[in-house]
Amino acid sequence: MFVKIYQYHIRPENEPELLDIQKKAAKIYRNYMDVQTSILKSKEEKSKWTEISYFKSEEDYHNMIPLINKNPEIQELFKRFESLLISGMKEEDYERIGENLASQ
The ranges assigned to domains in the chain are 2-97
Residue range 24-35, pLDDT digits in tens: 999 999 999 999
Sign of CA dihedral 97, 90, 24, 75: negative
Q: For the whole model, what pTM was predicted? A: 0.87
To the nearest whole percent, how much of the chain has pLDDT over 90? 89
The answer to whether the CB of 7 falls within 8 A of the CB of 86 is: no
To the nearest whole percent, how much of the chain has pLDDT over 70? 95
Class of domain 2-97: alpha beta
d(CA 91, CA 78): 15
The answer to whether the CB of 66 falls within 8 A of the CB of 14 is: no
pLDDT of residue 98: 76
* Mean pLDDT on 17-46: 96
